[in-house]
């Protein structure tokens, strides 16, 4: 167990010291695991929307825990109560811890007041995935969208979060945009 001494046993998970979060595993270990997650969920659904929803659910569970963990560790038990604060928390802190870098961009939607976008040139979960033609717009980024929704929801900012591919001029692979549409009561 990370951060647990060899001799000392903790009966309760809450008694363990919180880890510093510096531990790493190989990217391929994660890629293998993620691919099994996607493949397993493919066996449980009969359409793309359902598959994305299930990946999003898995991500949501991760996001909810990440919020709790990071609020304890990075922010001295304080959580953001302002919309821009929580968005920049997701874009900077959460992204940095989970993916090792700040997200490429955070923008406000130009057409709708309640929409924000986080864009990533090469999203970690999409790195080894090529979507077959017959699966249309399917995007594994749904998992990351779920993480974002989990963090936002846990912090009191319910939103609908979706992942989309956006083609970029001169680039072979599209970038991934995570679209956040906040619920009415948030604004």
Partner 1 sequence: MAPPPRSGDAIFANVDRVNAELFTLTYGAIVRQLLTDLEEVDEVNKQLDQMGYNIGIRLIDEFLAKSNISTCVDFKETAEVIAKVGFKMFLGVTASVSNWDPEGTTCSIILEDNPLVDFVELPDTCQGLYYCNILSGVVRGALEMVSMKTEITWVRDMLRGDDAFELRLKLLKQVPEEYPYKDDE
Judged by the rule CB under 8 A, the positions of this chain that interact with partner 1 are 1-3, 6, 9, 11-13, 19, 21, 23-30, 32-34, 36-37, 39-41, 44, 54, 57-59, 61-62, 65-66, 69, 97-100, 124
CA 169 – CA 141 distance, rounded (Å): 21
Question: What residues form DSSP beta bridges with 161?
Answer: 180
Between 58 and 179, CB nearer to partner 1: 58
Between 66 and 180, CB nearer to partner 1: 66
**From the CB of 183, what's the least distance to partner 1, in Å?**
23
Q: CB-based contacts of 91: which residues, under 8 Å, 6+ apart?
A: 102, 103, 106, 118
Between 6 and 133, CB nearer to partner 1: 6
Give me 28's structure tokens: 């391929």
Taking each helix axis from N to C end, the angle separating 27-43 and 48-73, rounded to the nearest 10 degrees, works out to 140
**From the CB of 115, what's the least distance to partner 1, in Å?**
26
* Torsion on CA atoms 126, 130, 135, 140, rounded to nearest 10: -10
Between 32 and 160, CB nearer to partner 1: 32
Residue 28, classed as helix, strand or coil, is: helix
**From the CB of 105, what's the least distance to partner 1, in Å?**
21
**From the CB of 140, what's the least distance to partner 1, in Å?**
12
Q: CB-based contacts of 18: which residues, under 8 Å, 6+ apart?
A: 3, 69, 72, 73
Residue 182, classed as helix, strand or coil, is: strand
Between 151 and 182, CB nearer to partner 1: 151
**From the CB of 147, what's the least distance to partner 1, in Å?**
9
């Amino acid at each position: 167990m990370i951060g647990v001494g060899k001799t000392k046993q903790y009966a309760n998970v809450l008694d363990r010291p919180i880890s510093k979060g510096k531990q790493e595993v190989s990217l391929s270990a994660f890629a293998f695991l993620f691919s099994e997650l996607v493949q397993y969920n493919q066996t449980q659904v009969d359409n793309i929307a359902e598959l994305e929803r299930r990946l999003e659910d898995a991500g949501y569970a991760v996001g909810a825990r990440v919020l709790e963990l990071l609020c304890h560790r990075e922010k001295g038990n304080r959580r953001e109560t302002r919309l821009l604060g929580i968005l920049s928390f997701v874009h900077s802190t959460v992204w940095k811890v989970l993916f090792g870098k700040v997200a490429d961009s955070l923008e406000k939607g130009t057409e709708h007041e309640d929409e924000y976008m986080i864009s990533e040139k090469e999203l970690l979960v999409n790195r080894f995935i090529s979507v077959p033609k017959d699966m249309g717009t399917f995007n594994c980024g749904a998992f990351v969208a779920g993480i974002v929704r989990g963090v936002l929801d846990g912090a009191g900012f319910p939103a609908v979060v979706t992942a989309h591919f956006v083609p970029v001029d001169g680039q072979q692979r599209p970038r991934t945009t995570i679209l956040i549409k906040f619920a009415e009561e948030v604004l």
